[in-house]
């Protein structure tokens, strides 16, 4: 499955970093997104969703409401099948717009979903 991680980090203690690594170890095609990074442990980073040449099945969001609101139009334009808003990344207005567009929206933890087979 093709999965983008919005807010991916090189900091090994950040949940977004752990998600990138766990997604990769579980065999998913992971696309970290962070305009400040070139790669995370050898996995190419992208500056935005629009920079990814593939259509994403899932976008896992690790951005604050303030930041995700600024890129909400880009997220909706990418039209993934599913968006996961991880704890602390909830954005009610953006979630409503995504649902109205037919995108599955979850307020959940990507790490827990991966570790419990619910991903």
In this prediction, residue 94 carries a pLDDT of: 98
| Cβ neighbours of residue 63 closer than 8 Å, sequence gap 6 or more | 6, 7, 71, 89
Confidence bin at 7 (pLDDT 50/70/90): very high
Mean pLDDT calculated for residue range 86-93: 98
pTM of the model: 0.96
Nearest C-alpha neighbor of 3 from the set 97, 83, 63 = 83
| Cβ neighbours of residue 1 closer than 8 Å, sequence gap 6 or more | 28, 29, 57, 58
Number of Cβ atoms within 10 Å of the Cβ of 44: 12
Mean pLDDT calculated for residue range 96-119: 97
Mean pLDDT calculated for residue range 83-107: 98
Confidence bin at 8 (pLDDT 50/70/90): very high
In this prediction, residue 68 carries a pLDDT of: 97
Main-chain dihedrals φ then ψ at residue 40, nearest 5 degrees = -125, 110
Domains of the chain: 2-115 (3.40.50.720)
Confidence bin at 77 (pLDDT 50/70/90): very high
């Amino acid at each position: 499955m093709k999965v983008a991680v919005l807010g991916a980090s090189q900091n090994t203690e950040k949940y977004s970093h752990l998600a990138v690594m766990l997604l990769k170890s579980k065999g998913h095609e992971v696309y970290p997104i962070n305009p400040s990074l070139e790669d995370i442990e050898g996995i190419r980073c992208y500056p935005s969703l629009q920079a990814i040449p593939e259509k994403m099945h899932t976008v896992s969001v690790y951005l604050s409401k303030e930041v995700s609101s600024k890129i909400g139009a880009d997220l909706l334009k990418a039209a993934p099948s599913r968006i996961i808003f991880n704890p602390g990344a909830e954005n009610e207005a953006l979630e409503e717009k995504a649902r109205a567009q037919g995108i599955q929206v979850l307020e959940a933890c990507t790490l827990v979903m991966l570790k419990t087979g619910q991903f």
